[in-house]
Amino acid sequence: MKYLCLVYLAPDVWNACPDSVCADYGQTLKTNGKLIDGQPLHPTSTATTVRVRNGQLAITDGPFAETKEALAGFYLIDARDLNEAIQIAAKIPPAKFGSIEVRPTRELVVDEMPRATPDNVSRAAAAAGP
Amino acid sequence: MPELARVRAEIDNVYRKDSRKIFATLIRLLGDFDRAEEALADAFRAAVEKWPTEGIPQNPASWLVSAGRFKSIDKQRREKRFDHLEDRPDVSEALADESARPDLLPELLEDDRLRLVFTCCHPAIAPDAQVALTLREVCGLTTEEIAAAFLTPAPTMAQRIVRAKGKIRDANIPYQVPSREELPQRLDSVLRCVYLVFNEGYSASRGDSATRADLSSEAIRLGRLVLELLPEPEVRGLLALMLLHESRREARATADGELILLDDQDRQLWNRELIAEGSALVRAALTTRSVGPYALQAAIAALHAEAPTPADTDWSEIIGFYDILMRLTPSPIIALNRTVAVAQLHGPALALEHLDGLLADGALDNYQLAHAARADFLRRLDRHAEARDAYTRAIALTAQGPARRFLEKRLAALPDR
């Protein structure tokens, strides 16, 4: 099951964790088949927020909301259950300095099409007529 | 007794004794709270249908688990008409199991209930929701009963439980007993929950009976289960506390269900076996270096239990334990209980001073026992008009019959002024 681990850091600890340490951990997860993707982010000063209301595009400088701890990066992981996801998140190096939000992902719900089986097909063919 | 009536009586009996255990096992087998609840209902319906003609099975609980599980899988199969069964390994596996070994009844593991308790008390669930969920799923309390115990509106409580179940499902909190490393941390919530269950049984928050025996013995049973798994001082402390409270059950109310205060209880009716067991557990818990709040509360209860008459109660020692307790876990309710002990040792005037100080904070505003205690101090100081106000306030906050009647009697007994 997939979990998104969002790394949040306050400004004073933004650089507390060296990239090499994060990279090492990412590599470990990859080797264990737990990492699907992960990226660090530029600081929130580089963010741009886009909204569309009533057909109008609004562009603002900065993150969608100013928070004490800001989004610094993410790890998309594959774990057996929440307990394993928590264990993985706990070892994310910035966890010592900030907060890691662990959120389960879900599949998009798309309209179900009945699967084609031999019965369905011949019944449909019969119903369709000559 | 006619056959049908006998069977019905037996089904009721099994429901009372085993429905929660059956439910816990069904959760393990079906992996889902709501499905397990449906399966439980279906199973009992099947029993009502089949047992009159087929006879009562040798192991009724196992039969019910089997029936519930089968009906659930059948239901799931019918719900997913368009899915190929090969894509649902869990369903096809289960069906294979059923057909291959129909004689093998699923084991109702003692562990299942523990598993359920620890899952309901998972730290990823909000603490209040943990307790609500456990009370609902493990002990079978209604949402209303739980709401009353928490002094919370019932819809709020219902929402809380629904959200917690949603969290378990969507975040995939596994149905497992925690590993040895995680265990101590997870235990805290469990103990808190067990104690709340006990209290709900000990002094029912709604309705007309002052106590509900089943829930208290349920909580004690849970306490023993946890102690077996984790013989920690605080588990001992909690079990001791519950046993010591329980020892007074026979003396706590009249035949009509009216309240009898500790001072007025017939101590011959106290269960000496429970007191002995509780006291032994307290002594064991107190010898460790880190004494916890449950052990301390149990120590206070033991001091009451060991006094042959109210006059023999060692109030000074009791206040000493309250002081340690206040340092460990300061709470307005503990402070309130301390004032009652102060009243016994130093008189109601000093106790009232302390209590008024507490009430000024506002935390005890809606707590019936605070106003009841205040009323009692005022009564003993002959400040009858103020006592009247305090009793009235306490009565307004009391939902429970016997406590309410007790306060009304005290109010009525005040001299007219």
The distance between the two most distant Cα atoms of chain B, rounded to a whole number of Å, is: 83
What does R_g of chain B's alpha carbons equal in angstroms?
A: 25
Task: Give the residue from chain B lying closest to A104, CA to CA.
Answer: B171
Domain segments of chain A as ranges? 2-106
Same-domain pairing of B313 and B339: no
Following CA atoms B127, B133, B136, B142 in sequence, which dihedral angle do they give, to the nearest 10 degrees? 70
The average pLDDT across A80-92 equals: 93
Q: What is the b/e burial string over B128-159, where b = at least 16 CB atoms within 10 angstroms of the residue's CB? A: ebbbbbbbbbbbebebebbbbbbeeeeeebbe
What does R_g of chain A's alpha carbons equal in angstroms?
A: 22
The average pLDDT across B196-219 equals: 65
Q: Which domain holds residue B224?
A: 111-325
Kindly tell me the burial class for residue B297, based on how many C-beta atoms sit within 10 Å of its own C-beta (0-12, 13-18, 19 or more). Answer: buried
Tens of pLDDT, residues B302-337: 999 999 999 999 999 999 999 999 999 899 999 999
Task: Give the residue from chain A lying closest to B182, CA to CA.
Answer: A83
Say if the ipTM goes beyond 0.90.
Answer: no
How high is the pLDDT of residue B362? 85
Same-domain pairing of B280 and B184: yes
Which residue, B307, B316, B225, B240, is CA-closest to B270?
B307
Q: Other CB atoms closer than 10 Å to residue B401's CB: what's the count?
A: 17
| B290/chain A closest Cα distance in angstroms | 28
Same-domain pairing of B100 and B57: yes
To probe the interface with B, which of A3, A82, A107, A113 has the most B CB atoms within 10 Å? Answer: A82
Same-domain pairing of B238 and B370: no
Same-domain pairing of B315 and B336: no
How high is the pLDDT of residue B136? 86
List Cβ neighbours of A21 (8 Å cut-off, separation of 6 or more). Answer: A93
B124 vs A82: CB contact, 8 Å cut-off? Answer: yes
To probe the interface with A, which of B82, B118, B119 has the most A CB atoms within 10 Å? Answer: B82
What residues form DSSP beta bridges with B329?
A: none
- When the candidates are 3.40.190.10, 3.30.70.260, 3.30.70.1060, 3.40.50.12780, the CATH number that belongs to A2-106 is 3.30.70.1060
Following CA atoms B92, B93, B98, B99 in sequence, which dihedral angle do they give, to the nearest 10 degrees? 70
Same-domain pairing of B155 and B23: no
Q: How many domains does chain B have?
A: 3
pLDDT band at A105 (very low <50, low <70, confident <90, very high): very high
Same-domain pairing of B173 and B310: yes
| A117/chain B closest Cα distance in angstroms | 10
How high is the pLDDT of residue B83? 52
Nearest to B172 among A1, A112, A115 (CB): A1
Instruction: Give CA separation, B231 vs B234, B277, B404, in Å.
Output: 9, 15, 39
Sign of CA dihedral B230, B232, B238, B240: positive
User: Distance between CA B141 and CA B197 in Å, rounded?
Assistant: 9
How high is the pLDDT of residue B200? 73
Which residue, of B283, B303, B325, is where some domain finishes? B325
For the cut 60, the answer to whether the pLDDT of residue A120 exceeds it is no
Partners of B83 on chain A (C-beta within 8 Å) are 115
Same-domain pairing of B80 and B119: no
DSSP-assigned letter for residue B416: P
Cα angle value B398/B403/B407 (rounded, 5°)? 85
Partners of A106 on chain B (C-beta within 8 Å) are 170
Helix (H) or strand (E) holding A8: strand A2-9
Q: Which segment of A5-9, B84-88, B183-187, B370-374 scores lowest on mean pLDDT?
A: B84-88
Same-domain pairing of B362 and B385: yes
B171 vs A106: CB contact, 8 Å cut-off? Answer: no
pLDDT band at B186 (very low <50, low <70, confident <90, very high): confident
Tens of pLDDT, residues B123-132: 889 877 887 8
Partners of B183 on chain A (C-beta within 8 Å) are none
Which residue, of B304, B325, B346, is where some domain finishes? B325
| B22/chain A closest Cα distance in angstroms | 25
Strands A70-78 and A99-104: unpaired
The average pLDDT across B265-292 equals: 92
User: What's the whole-number average pLDDT of chain B?
Assistant: 85
Which residue, of B325, B351, B366, is where some domain finishes? B325
pLDDT band at B187 (very low <50, low <70, confident <90, very high): confident
User: Distance between CA B207 and CA B156 in Å, rounded?
Assistant: 21
Same-domain pairing of B298 and B393: no
Same-domain pairing of B143 and B86: no
Q: Which segment of A49-53, A117-121, B8-12, B164-168 scores lowest on mean pLDDT?
A: A117-121
A83 vs B82: CB contact, 8 Å cut-off? Answer: no
For the cut 50, the answer to whether the pLDDT of residue B102 exceeds it is no
- Note the pTM of the prediction, 2 decimals: 0.64
Partners of B115 on chain A (C-beta within 8 Å) are none
Q: What is the CATH number of the domain that holds B356?
A: 1.25.40.10
Same-domain pairing of B224 and B308: yes
Nearest to B172 among A82, A112, A114 (CB): A82
Tens of pLDDT, residues B42-79: 999 999 999 999 999 999 999 999 999 999 999 888 88
